[in-house]
């Protein structure tokens, strides 16, 4: 049952988990959950026992997109379809169970590439029907907010979550599971998207984040005075598209890549410093504003060691616990989907016969 909307421009939201008193609820459905994640270009499946024990986890990164320097939606959908059956069989075998031991399926239903989401949801529905078990839809961003719990245990609330990936830059106050206040997000490009675009300008390939990070380690962060967009704005939003343009303008007189190695390292280091200044400043400001007891990171950009170090220092100075998932659980993965699905089932969620996909975060029922 949903709560009445709260007053204010950015109200707290609740997830769509059904009330435990719902007719037909099967509390034991959370016992052995198969998670399926296909929202972008990673095909991932997981088997989670008792909501906490990760018995098997497979992530297949789709290499085909490297050829094109970015994710090609049609190719992603096709690859999900080809990869899912084998990955699921593999995960079930690795978990040491039989398909009949599964008690439910949790699948990403939003947000993401619509064709990719459709493949995962259609597959989950068909498999759930064949096994006679419920299928619940999970919000991908909500799952990122809680991914750290798989390794760190339950978060102290209120917590702050920073989700930074190729598609999202979200700063969220987590008051409880299912109770969120959106504090900020990007007005244009996501942080990971900026890393990918700048890597392309430097001729470093896709995905760009790890390549920029390794070049940045050998460069001077003060070599270029790139802008820190929205750093001084009173809100907690971000903007990275102008920063990418500033890098393009700095590189324009130099012609086409490959560039001199030292030059590329200096650009990478100066760009990374600008992104991290923005992410760190607003995240620490949000910690101070909310009095959060923990900071949780999620999304591929959270693999960036310099970002982790800067946030670790800020958290230590404030006595705040930093909860960073290991790289596998930062990036897109089915373990976090299975976990959130298991929580929804334990709270009484039942199979949704109308389960459908939604591409945007706003229309998914979360976000600003
Ligand atoms: O969460 P993710 O695996 O997929 C989605 O975008 O949903 O995140 C991928 C993004 C890419 O933009 C990639 O360049 C970025 O995360 N990324 C990094 C690093 N590793 C991955 N960005 C900065 N530093 C990294 N070490
Ligand atoms: Zn993601």
The ligand whose atoms approach the alpha carbon of 61 most closely is 1
Alpha-carbon dihedral of residues 281, 286, 289, 294, nearest 10 degrees? -120
Rg of the chain, C-alpha, whole Å? 21
Pairing between strand 135-139 and 104-110? parallel
Measured by CA distance, the residue closest to atom 6 of ligand 1 is 166
Please write the tens of the pLDDT for every residue from 83-94. 999 999 999 999
Of residues 71 and 310, more confidence is placed in: 310
Task: Report the SS3 class of residue 196.
Answer: helix
Predicted confidence at residue 11, as pLDDT, reads 38
Predicted confidence at residue 206, as pLDDT, reads 86
The ligand whose atoms approach the alpha carbon of 336 most closely is 2
Q: How would residue 62 be classed by pLDDT, with cut points 50, 70 and 90? A: confident
275, 267, 277, 164: which is closest to 216 by C-alpha? 267
Predicted confidence at residue 27, as pLDDT, reads 62
Q: What φ, ψ does residue 166 adopt, rounded to 5°?
A: -70, -20
Q: Determine the Cα angle at 277 with ends 272 and 282, to 5°.
A: 135
Q: Is 69 in the pocket of ligand 1 (CB under 6 A)?
A: no
Q: How would residue 217 be classed by pLDDT, with cut points 50, 70 and 90? A: very high
% of the chain exceeding 90 in pLDDT = 87
Average pLDDT over residues 57-72: 88
Q: Is 37 in the pocket of ligand 1 (CB under 6 A)?
A: no
**Is the pTM higher than 0.95?**
no
Taking 70 as the threshold, does the pLDDT of residue 6 lie above it?
A: no
Tell me the torsion sign for CA atoms 272, 275, 277, 280.
Answer: negative
Q: Which of 39, 44, 192, 244 to mutate to test the pocket of ligand 1 (most atoms within 8 A of CB)?
A: 192
Neighbours of ion ligand 2 (CB under 5 A): 165, 332
Predicted confidence at residue 70, as pLDDT, reads 84
Q: Is 208 in the pocket of ligand 1 (CB under 6 A)?
A: yes
Q: Which of 139, 209, 327 to mutate to test the pocket of ligand 1 (most atoms within 8 A of CB)?
A: 209
Mean pLDDT across the chain: 92
Q: Which of 165, 196, 215 to mutate to test the pocket of ligand 1 (most atoms within 8 A of CB)?
A: 165
Report whether the peptide linkage leading into residue 258 is cis, meaning its omega lies within 30 degrees of zero.
yes
């Amino acid at each position: 049952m949903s709560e009445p909307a709260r007053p204010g421009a950015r109200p707290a939201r609740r997830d769509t988990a059904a009330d435990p008193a719902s007719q037909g609820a099967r509390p034991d459905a959370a016992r052995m959950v198969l998670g399926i994640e296909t929202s972008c270009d990673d095909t991932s499946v997981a088997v989670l026992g008792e909501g906490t024990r990760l018995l098997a986890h497979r992530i297949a990164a789709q290499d085909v997109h490297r050829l094109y320097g970015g994710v090609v939606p049609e190719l992603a959908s096709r690859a999900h379809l080809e990869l899912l059956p084998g990955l699921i069989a593999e995960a079930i075998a690795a978990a040491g169970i039989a398909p009949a031991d599964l008690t439910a399926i949790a699948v990403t239903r939003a947000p993401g590439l619509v064709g990719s989401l459709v493949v995962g949801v259609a597959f989950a529905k068909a498999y759930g029907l064949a096994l006679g078990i419920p299928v619940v839809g999970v919000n991908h961003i909500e799952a990122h907010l809680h991914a750290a719990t798989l390794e760190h245990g339950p978060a102290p609330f209120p917590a702050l979550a920073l989700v930074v990936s190729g598609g999202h830059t979200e700063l969220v106050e987590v008051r409880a599971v299912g109770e969120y206040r959106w504090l900020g997000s990007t007005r244009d490009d996501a942080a990971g998207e900026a890393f990918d675009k700048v890597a392309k300008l430097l001729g470093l390939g896709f995905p760009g984040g790890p390549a920029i990070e390794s070049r940045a380690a050998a460069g001077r962060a003060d070599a270029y005075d790139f802008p820190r967009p929205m750093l001084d704005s009173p809100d907690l939003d971000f903007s990275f598209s102008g920063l990418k343009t500033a890098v393009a303008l700095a590189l324009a007189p130099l012609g086409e890549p490959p560039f001199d190695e030292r030059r590329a390292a200096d650009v990478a280091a100066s760009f990374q410093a600008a992104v991290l200044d923005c992410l760190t400043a607003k995240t620490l400001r949000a910690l101070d504003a909310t009095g959060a007891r923990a900071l949780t990171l999620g999304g591929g950009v959270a693999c960036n060691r310099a970002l982790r170090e800067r946030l670790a220092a800020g958290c230590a100075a404030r006595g705040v616990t930093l909860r960073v998932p290991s790289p596998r659980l930062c990036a897109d993965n089915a373990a976090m989907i299975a976990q959130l699905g298991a929580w929804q089932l334990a709270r009484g969620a039942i199979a949704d016969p109308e389960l459908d996909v939604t591409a945007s975060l706003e229309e998914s029922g979360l976000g600003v």
